[in-house]
């Protein structure tokens, strides 16, 4: 269980998050929706330890991890798929995947079979230079890399960004399978339609604050529109 309790986050004098609280349950997909620039990525940075919070606490599996650095959080089973994919251009597909082994001991470093089962194209092109993959295939590689350490929670930032609708559907098809393996997912998205298809719980953001939360079946289209657009 991931519990976020009343966190604030600042970049210098600018405040990106304001008293944000949320919960991500085991084996569930928690979606964070909002327009560009409202604090969604800042939230994931806080959860991954990329940026320190200035107030509040983050608890993971019953332990306070607020002060832990990113490598320590990764060793505790928290993995991050950043916006923009951040594929290493000088490495092959398989070498990119293997960079996800960093939190593991050497004797634990083997590519999980379920990664290639999720994304068979990565097996087919494992010796290929990573930049020659399509945008969708690079996104699959970024997700696969994050799964190398067998995480218990996966933080995903805008995995539909810049992809064609048919490719988005392929990428999103992996999320229910990841969830079925017992991995929690926190998914930041602007695409309301795609997010609502996979979400177990939804949080909407406006200007660094939560504007709405609930299960998809409890939320009307009008309520989501108001929470998302502010009108």
CB atoms within 10 A of CB 130: 22
CB atoms within 10 A of CB 158: 22
Model pLDDT for residues 76-87, shown as the tens digit of each residue? 999 999 988 888
Say if residue 167 is exposed, middle or buried (CB neighbours under 10 Å; 0-12, 13-18, 19+). Answer: middle
pLDDT band at 138, cuts 50/70/90?
very high
Provide the phi-psi class of 20: left if phi over 0, else alpha when psi is between -120 and 50, else beta.
beta
Picking from 71-80, 104-113, 148-157, which range would have the lowest pLDDT averaged per residue? 104-113
Pairing assessment for the beta strands 29-33 and 63-64 based on DSSP bridges: unpaired
Q: How confident is the model at residue 231 (pLDDT cuts 50, 70, 90)?
A: low
Domains of the chain by residue range: 2-229
Return the pLDDT at 108.
86
Residue 143's SS3 state is helix
Predicted confidence at residue 85, as pLDDT, reads: 80
With contact defined as beta carbons under 8 Å apart, do 202 and 196 qualify? yes
Sheet holding 209-214, edge to edge: 78-81, 153-157, 184-189, 29-33, 201-206, 209-214
- 37-51: per-residue pLDDT in tens? 899 999 999 999 999
Q: What does the pLDDT average to over 110-120?
A: 89
Provide CB contacts within 8 A for 85, sequence distance 6+. Answer: 135, 138, 139, 141, 142
Mean pLDDT of 213-221: 91
Per-residue pLDDT at 21 = 97
Phi, psi of 196 (to 5 degrees): -70, -20
Number of residues that this document lists for the chain: 231
Arithmetic mean of pLDDT over the chain: 93
**Sign of the dihedral through C-alpha 144, 148, 153, 157:** negative
CATH code that applies to domain 2-229 = 3.40.50.300
Q: What is the mean pLDDT of residues 177-198?
A: 92
pLDDT at 93: 95
Cβ within 8 Å of residue 200, ≥6 positions away: 25, 28, 29, 30, 215, 216
Distance between CA 35 and CA 228 in Å, rounded?
A: 7
């Amino acid at each position: 269980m991931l519990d976020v309790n009343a966190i604030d986050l600042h970049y210098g004098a600018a405040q990106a998050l304001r008293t944000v609280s949320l919960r991500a349950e085991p084996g569930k997909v928690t979606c964070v929706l909002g327009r560009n620039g409202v604090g969604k990525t800042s939230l994931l940075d806080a959860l991954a330890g990329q940026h320190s919070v200035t107030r509040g606490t983050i608890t993971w599996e019953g332990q306070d991890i607020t002060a832990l650095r990113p490598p320590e959080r990764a060793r505790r089973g928290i993995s991050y798929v950043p916006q923009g994919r951040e594929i290493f251009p000088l490495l092959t597909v398989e070498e990119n995947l293997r960079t996800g082994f960093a939190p593991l001991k050497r004797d634990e470093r083997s590519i999980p079979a379920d990664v290639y089962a999720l994304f068979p194209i990565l097996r087919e092109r494992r010796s290929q230079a990573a930049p020659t993959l399509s945008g969708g295939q690079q996104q699959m590689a970024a997700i696969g890399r994050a799964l190398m350490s067998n995480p218990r929670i996966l933080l995903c930032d805008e995995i539909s960004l810049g992809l064609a609708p048919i490719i988005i559907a392929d990428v999103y098809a992996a999320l229910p399978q990841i969830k079925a393996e017992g991995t929690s997912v926190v998914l930041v998205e602007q695409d309301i339609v795609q997010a609502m298809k996979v979400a177990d719980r939804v949080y909407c953001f406006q200007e660094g604050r939560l504007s709405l939360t609930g299960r998809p079946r409890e939320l009307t289209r009008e309520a989501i529109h108001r929470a998302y657009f502010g009108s």
